[in-house]
Every structure is written in structure tokens, then in C-alpha cells.
Amino acid sequence: MPRPLKAGDRLAKDKSRRPQGSASTKRPRKPRTGLARVAGGVLVRGLYRLALLGVVGGLLVGGGLFLYFSSGLPSVAKLRHYEPPLETRIYADNFRLIAALGTQHRIYVPYDRIPHLVASAFISAEDRNFWTEPGIDPLAIVRAGLVDMTRLGSHERPLGASTITMQVVKNMLLDNRIDFARKIKEAILALRVNRAMSKRRILTLYLNEIYLGQNAWGVAAAAEAYFDKPLSRLTIAEAATLGGLPKAPTNYNPFLHPKRALDRRNWVIGRMRDDGVITDTEAKQALASPLLPKAAAGTRPVPGAGYFINAVEAQLVQMFGQKTTMEGGLIVRTSLNPRLQTAAMDAMRDRLEAYDHEFGFYHGPVTRLDLADLAADWPAALAKQATPAGLRRRWRLGVVVSETPTMAHIGWIQGDNPAATRAGTLSLAALQWGRPMIHGAPGPMLRAVDQMLKPGDVIMIDPHKPTKGGTVSLEQIPHVEGSMLSLDPETGRVSIMVGGWSNRMSPYNRATQAHRQPGSSVKPFDYLTAMQAGVQPDATILDAPFTQRLADGQLYRPGDYEMNFLGPVPVFYALEQSLNLATLHLVRRVGLANVAANFEKFRIVHHMPLIYPAAIGALDTTLWRMVRGYAALDEYGRQVEPSLIDSVTAPDGHILYQAPDQSCANCMDGSADQLPVLNRPGAQLADPDSVYQVIMMMRNVTEHGTGVPAVLGLKRPIAGKTGTTNNFNDAWFIGFIPQMVTGCWIGYDTPRDLGTNQTGGNVCGPAWNQFMKVALKGQPVINFPTPAGMTLAQVSYGSQTVTEAFKPGQAPGAQSNLGLVADNPLGLGGALSNGNGQNTQHDFNPASVPSGTEQSVPPPSVDKSLGGLY
């Protein structure tokens, strides 16, 4: 029986049957059964469903994430009505920028005023696909995502992929955090913004909102800050410099990092060329341009204008509110005259400095340098000292390097370079003015320099003012203060305002805020009351003892400056020489209540107490009020409202405020003989004839009386009046010509004696004179016009002859005993005319006011023993 085949035998047989050298062959695949086909289809469908499920799941997850990150996002609708915070810009009368109010320096520029070159520089640098993208750049986002994933844990700043639209969202709708969640929100909002508004609007928001360094927000402010130019005048290179700043304003600031800024600028120029914004030739020229940015002159300070600016700011806040004033982008045109403001500040500081050298004493050094620093490197040590507030422009900080008994050797730095040192000397004689005070008076003469100065002392010097035996002068900021105010009486426009030595040292405005006793500077309103009552300028009034028993039992017995009695004097002479007793007798004749009425109508005070000291200046008022009252006199009784602001304009050009109408009714008539009739607002406070009589008497004050020091060398008609309180605490002079009124006050913030014989004419007069010589240069000489029907006549007193004005029906010499009788021979009863045919409510009737009852309870600041002196 044959042996059964085994597996190995069969394989061997099969193998033996293969042709030698032939490749092995696969066994043919059996046909798939139906079950296999079903299994395969299930697998494919499963994979398809799995993929579909993944897509749906991804969409659901993505949608969920979208909803998660979308929830609570700010609305893009606010961008349609977005008004960026804009600084308010204040200009002088010559359009010079003098101040900017606000926390952000920004100038809003609408799209049609943004040069194409500037916009293109930013687009080439920041977002080349801006005009076509949907608000985001997907490829840039993917690229940034991949790079950022490789930086995980490296603490490196994530790579940005922000489009211009996304930057608008970041700057205006979101915070500045850098994380993935915020970037997702940024992208979502960018898509919404792109759908909600035009590309032009988005670009306008971007170019006005973006911060570009140098405290400049927006392209217009940056053009000023870096190149002192408007946008329309920027070159390609300058536009590229700005276009390179958004990435890192500090790192690419051309003032701080010029090499980086130059490289960045050139890169932007290359991008602009590649984008077809500029040609190859233009690119080459721009690349060859030096960086050389010019810092904006900006708000070049006008000396002392801080007081004026603060007053304007306060008025704007009152008119428009704090937020609009600081963020509303107001354009404010003011009446400030920079040339005259500089002259006024110089005049006041020169006068206070001269007064300090005559009556003051040395306050001591600003600080002291360590003697080791002095010996090692005093220029470096001195350079570290902060500039004191109030230091005059020509002054310097110097250090006492060495001293001998008769001479101090001073070193200082010229400019900002510590290597640029200068040397000078201060002699013993030059220091005598500052010798220490003993019991309120300057002590004995100095015997040696070291009684005042020692090595290491840092002092203020004037290297431009040589002294006797020395090359520099010792200076200091005086303790005495002063103020000055000047305006055009026709318009009320305030041209200068000095509120003190330095606004940086003290914002307290002594021109508007300091309530001080005006002394005899109120007397013109006493005499106006007399002129309104029919008193003639040459009428005789008695300069004799004046007593008044007041309601509280006190006896009021004032005196004149000279403490003597002149007897009968003409009215014009009593004002000219500021005679207290004659003035008080005149006030008693015309009625204290009538005088009070004029004080209040001319707004010298809100309410005048009915006591005689108040009639000669023992009350509180301000320089602002006094100049306003004198301006009404200059306008022949028309009320004048001082103004600081000419106009206020919104950023879109809409006028928000304009000063009252100042048109002229007959300026086009061409008549040389006819005075212009100006349509000025303001009530008529007194009849022009009476005011003119006072003006003529006030001319005597400046030509023959107490105001002579103020007008030396000013060869023109000037009316004015001095003011000095009887304890010499306050010195005043207020004077005017037809086209200008200027007032001056000098005193201590805490009232104290200015010194014996320091009257308004002697103290304020020189400052007033110095300023007016500048202000009147080139101005025509204009006389005060005589009202129709009035006559001018010469009258005499003693050896003096002056010209006075007389109303119709008056004649020189017709009143010769006004103050010599107790009754009322002139019939000065009835009401006072205000020039409009209307009468005041204060009737003149001396008999109706019993002696000792012309008083009301005075405020605490009024001392009934006080009054004007001179």
C-alpha cells in the first residue's frame, strides 16, 4: 500500500515542478464573498461618519469657543461716533500757540486732510493688505501661531499678526494685554469692525488714535513733535520715519535712538517702493536724506503768561465744563499780546528786583555743595542742581568757589554742557544791599564777604550785570510781589496780565484774586460824583481837619500825607495832590451815598460800606476791578467788560463762542472830522461831560501831581491816579490814554509796610513807565476828545496854571466857596445823571444824613482809621 503523502513531500514535489530559475508565483486570490463586501462598506462608512463627526465636533467646539470669546465683547457701534480726547489749544492774538490743555497731545485730522503719502507709509509698514483683507490676515495669524508655539515657556513677546483694523480694536475697544484669548477677541472684533464701517473710516481712526512717542497721539501731533511741521509738508523720508514708529515708539524714537530710527525708516522706504507708492528715484532720494528730526517748538512759553492761561482755562471750564475743556479739542483765540506780555513781565520783575535791592535783604543760598564735590568737580555737581522756579532767563546758578575778605570767586555753567564753565567775581561792595536785617531794618555795613557767602554756596547771579568792583551781580527772587493788567478800553480785550513774579512758584493771581485796599486810586470816582452834581473843577473846597463821630462812638480824624492843612483849594488841585481832607469835605458835600452808588456802578466793589474811610480807599478790591472801572472812565462813562477770549471753535470748525459784537456804525463814512460810532455793548454809567472833567483833572495828576514818576518821558496826554494806603502796605498806579488802560499794584502777599514814603507813584510808577514805553512805541498820539458843547479854559492856583473842562452854563470862577459854608448855596440836590436821561436812586441831601450815621457795619478787613494817602 503506498505511503500517504506528507506535507513536506507535497511541498517538495511542488517545488520540484517549478521551472528552474523562475520567480515564485502568488496563489490566485479567491473571490470576495458577500460578507467581506459588507464589512468593507461598513468600514468606509464608519470612517466617513467619523470624519463628519470630527468636522461637526470641531464646528461645535469652534462655535462654542467663538460664542465663549464673543460674549461680553464691546460693541463696535461706538467707533462710528468715536470722538478721541483732543487737547484744547490756546493761541495769542497773533496766532502763536501759547498753551495746550489736556493729558494727550493729539490733533484730529479728517481723512481728506491726511496726505496719501503719510497714509501709505503706515500701510506699507504695518498692513500691506489693508485695502483687501477682511480685517484680519489669516496667513499672518497662522505664521504667528506656529512661531509662538515654538516659543512656549521662553518668556519672549508673542509674534504679532495685527492688521491696522486689529490695532484699532486693541487701542479703542480692548486693553493692551498680550495673550491668546485677547488675540482671539481682537480678531473677532476686527471682522465685525470691517463689516460695520468703511476702510477710510478705519484708517482715519487708526491714524488719529495711535501713540507715536514724544507724547504725540496721532500723525498730526507726531509731525509737530518730531519735525515741527504740519502733515501736508512732510517729505517721503519724514513720513517713513513716522510710519516706522508704531511697532515700538520708544525704541525707534529718532531723538533717543537715531541709528535704530534710521534703519527702521529706510526699511519703510523700501516697503513703500516695493508697494509702488514711490518710484525708485524717489526711494533713492529719501534713503539719502538725513534723519535730523527737528523737535517741535510747541508751546513756546511767553514770560509770565501762565497767569493769563490759567484765567482762560478757568473761564473755559465755566463755559464748557471740565471734560470738554480738557478733551474737546477746542481752538481758543485770546487777546494776549506776546510782545507786550514779555515787556510787562520784564518791567514788573525789574521793578521788584530793584525794590528788593533797595529795601530787601539776602535770603541765603539756594543750596550748598559738599566741599569735597567743590574741590573734585564742582561743574558736575552744579549741573545736577535743579533750576529753581522763578529763575529769570538771564540769571544763572553759580557756586562760590573761593572767597577773600573783599571778593568772592564765582563759577557757573554756560548752557547745559558742564564743560562750558565761566568764572566771575562778586565784590564786598556789591553785597552790601543784602546785609542781614536787625529789628526789621538792614544791619550795619558788611566787613567781609564771608559774612554772607561761603565756599560751596549755590547762589543766583546775573552774569550780564557787572557791579562795582565785580563782574556779576548777586540776585534772588524777591519776597515782595506785584501785578499788572492792561486792556483796550474800546473792546475790553486784555492784552497783558502779570499775576506775580512766577506762575510756577505761585499760581495765585494777584491781578484777579488778591483783594487789597486801593487807597487813593478810588478818588476819581469821588470827584466824578461831584462833577455829576454840578461841581466845577475850579470850585473851592476846604482842606482842613475833618472829623466824624461814627455810630460805634469812635472819632474818625484822618490826615493828609504831608500832615498839614492847605485851607481853601480848588477841586482840581485836591485830586492832583491827592488831598484826603479836601476829598472828604467834598464827599460830605455831595453825599456819601452818591459816592457809594458810583463805586458800585463802576464795579469797584460790589457793596461799599457807608463810612468815610471807604470813600478814600479803605475797602477791599482787586486790580481787575480797578482797571475795569478806569476803562469805563476812559470810555466816557460806558461800562466796559474785560475779556480774555476772542473766540472758541470746535474741532470741526463750528464756532462755539465769539466775543460780543464790536462792529462800527460809521467807519465806512469816510469823514475825517467825525468820531467813529462803535456799537459797543455796555450801559452808560455816567454822563460823558462829567467823566471828561474828571479825565482832565486826572491829567493834572500825571503832569503836576503824584503820578509824575509814572509818565516820565511819555510825551502824550495821559490820565491816571496813584494809590497808597496810609500804612504803605499797598502801592498802585492806574493810568490810561484813549486806546489803552494799564494798572499796577505792588505789595507783600501778607500785608506789611513797603517802607517810608514808598507811595504808588514811587513804587509802581517806574514799572508802569517801563512797560508803557514799549507798549506806546509806534502808537499815534491821540488826545482825549472834548464832548460837544464843553469848553476848555485855563485856571490857576498859586503858580500853577492848568486847563480844565467846563460844561455848558459853567464858567471859570463861578464857584469859589463850595467847602466854606455849611449850607448848600449851589443847589446840589436831586439825583445824579447817568448820561441816559435816567437818574440814580441816591439823592443828594446833606441835611437828610445826620452826622455820625453815614455808616454800615464794615467788614472785618476795614479799619475805620485807614484810607488813601497819596
Rounded CA-CA distance 853/593 in Å is 11
Q: How many CB atoms lie within 10 A of CB 677?
A: 11
**What's the chain's average pLDDT?**
84
Q: Give burial (CB, 10 Å; 0-12/13-18/19+) of 808.
A: exposed
Active-site residue, from 87, 120, 126, 690: 126
**Residue 636 φ then ψ, to 5°:** 60, 35
Residue 844 has pLDDT above 50, yes or no: no
Chain-centroid distance of CA 99 in Å reads: 5
Per residue in 778-814, pLDDT (tens digit) is 999 999 999 999 999 999 999 999 999 999 999 999 8
Mean pLDDT of 367-390: 91
Mean pLDDT of 60-68: 50
Rounded CA-CA distance 61/114 in Å is 44
Rounded CA-CA distance 706/718 in Å is 13
Question: Residue 290, CB half-sphere, CA atoms under 13 Å: how many?
Answer: 4
Rounded CA-CA distance 192/180 in Å is 19
- pLDDT for res 757: 84
Burial 19-38 (b: 16+ CB within 10 A, else e): eeeeeeeeeeeeeeeeeeee
Could you tell me the CA-to-CA distances from 53 to 46, 61, 367 in Å, in that order?
A: 10, 12, 81
**CB contact at 8 A, 836 and 639:** no
- Amino acid at site 708: V
Rounded CA-CA distance 800/571 in Å is 14
Residue 766 has pLDDT above 90, yes or no: yes
Burial 517-535 (b: 16+ CB within 10 A, else e): bbbbbbbbbbbbbbbbbbb
- Identify the helix (H) or strand (E) that includes residue 210: none
Active-site residue, from 335, 473, 520, 643: 520
Higher-scoring residue by pLDDT: 185, 485:
485
Active site residue 647: no
Could you tell me the CA-to-CA distances from 105 to 249, 338, 505, 650, 858 in Å, in that order?
A: 15, 23, 25, 16, 50
- Amino acid at site 581: L
How many residues in total does the chain contain? 870
Nearest to 172 by CA among 106, 72, 82: 82
| Gyration radius of the chain's alpha carbons | 43
Nearest to 592 by CA among 636, 530, 521: 530
Mean pLDDT of 718-728: 93
Mean pLDDT of 540-545: 92
Nearest to 620 by CA among 724, 522, 516: 516
**Angle subtended at Cα 615 by Cα 611 and Cα 618, rounded to the nearest 5 degrees:** 80
Nearest to 336 by CA among 380, 305, 357: 305
Rounded CA-CA distance 268/279 in Å is 14
CA dihedral over 771, 773, 776, 781, signed as positive or negative: positive
Active site residue 186: no
CA dihedral over 812, 813, 817, 819, signed as positive or negative: positive
Per residue in 285-309, pLDDT (tens digit) is 999 999 887 766 555 678 889 999 9
- Amino acid at site 544: A
Rounded CA-CA distance 577/560 in Å is 10
* Among the ranges given (162-176, 216-230, 819-833), the one the predictor scored with the smallest mean pLDDT: 819-833
**CB contact at 8 A, 90 and 332:** yes
Nearest to 566 by CA among 819, 394, 327, 801: 819
Q: How many CB atoms lie within 10 A of CB 247?
A: 12
- Amino acid at site 25: T
Q: How many CB atoms lie within 10 A of CB 791?
A: 13
- pLDDT for res 196: 82
**What is the DSSP code string of 695-757?**
HHHHHHHHHHSTTGGGSTT--S--EEEEEEBTTS-EEEEEEEETTEEEEEEEE-SS-----TT
**CB contact at 8 A, 482 and 746:** yes
Residue 104 has pLDDT above 90, yes or no: no
- pLDDT for res 582: 94
Q: Give burial (CB, 10 Å; 0-12/13-18/19+) of 672.
A: exposed
- pLDDT for res 297: 57
**CB contact at 8 A, 287 and 279:** no
Give the pLDDT band (50/70/90) at residue 180: low
Higher-scoring residue by pLDDT: 338, 662:
338
How large is the angle between the packed helices 258-274 and 236-243, nearest 10 degrees?
110
Residue 416 has pLDDT above 60, yes or no: yes
Give the pLDDT band (50/70/90) at residue 197: confident
Could you tell me the CA-to-CA distances from 851 to 551, 560, 635, 821 in Å, in that order?
A: 9, 22, 36, 16
Question: Residue 191, CB half-sphere, CA atoms under 13 Å: how many?
Answer: 10
What lies within 8 Å, CB to CB, of 676 at 6+ separation is 664, 665, 666, 667
What lies within 8 Å, CB to CB, of 83 at 6+ separation is none
What lies within 8 Å, CB to CB, of 431 at 6+ separation is 362, 408, 446, 449, 452, 453, 474
Per residue in 489-513, pLDDT (tens digit) is 999 999 999 999 999 999 999 999 9
Residue 869 has pLDDT above 60, yes or no: no
**Angle subtended at Cα 754 by Cα 310 and Cα 581, rounded to the nearest 5 degrees:** 105
Residue written as grid cell 524717489: 282
**What is the DSSP code string of 794-836?**
EEEETTEEEEEEE-TT--TTS---TTT-SS-TT---BPPB-SS
Mean pLDDT of 526-531: 98
Rounded CA-CA distance 697/805 in Å is 9
Per residue in 434-481, pLDDT (tens digit) is 998 776 677 889 999 999 999 999 999 999 999 988 999 999 999 999
Q: How many CB atoms lie within 10 A of CB 102?
A: 18
The pTM for the full model equals 0.80
Residue 198 has pLDDT above 70, yes or no: yes
Q: Which long-range contacts (CB under 8 A, 24 or more apart) does 270-277 make?
A: 271/124, 271/125, 271/128, 272/120, 272/121, 272/124, 272/236, 272/240, 274/124, 275/120, 275/123, 275/124, 275/128, 277/117, 277/120, 277/121, 277/124
Percent of the chain with pLDDT over 90: 62
Rounded CA-CA distance 432/452 in Å is 10
**CB contact at 8 A, 614 and 548:** no
- pLDDT for res 868: 59
**What is the DSSP code string of 101-116?**
ESSSEE----GGGS-H
Per residue in 141-171, pLDDT (tens digit) is 666 556 555 655 555 555 556 888 888 888 7
**Residue 401 φ then ψ, to 5°:** -80, -40
Could you tell me the CA-to-CA distances from 473 to 16, 347, 348, 432, 802 in Å, in that order?
A: 131, 19, 19, 11, 45
Enter the DSSP assignment of 86.
Answer: B
- pLDDT for res 10: 45
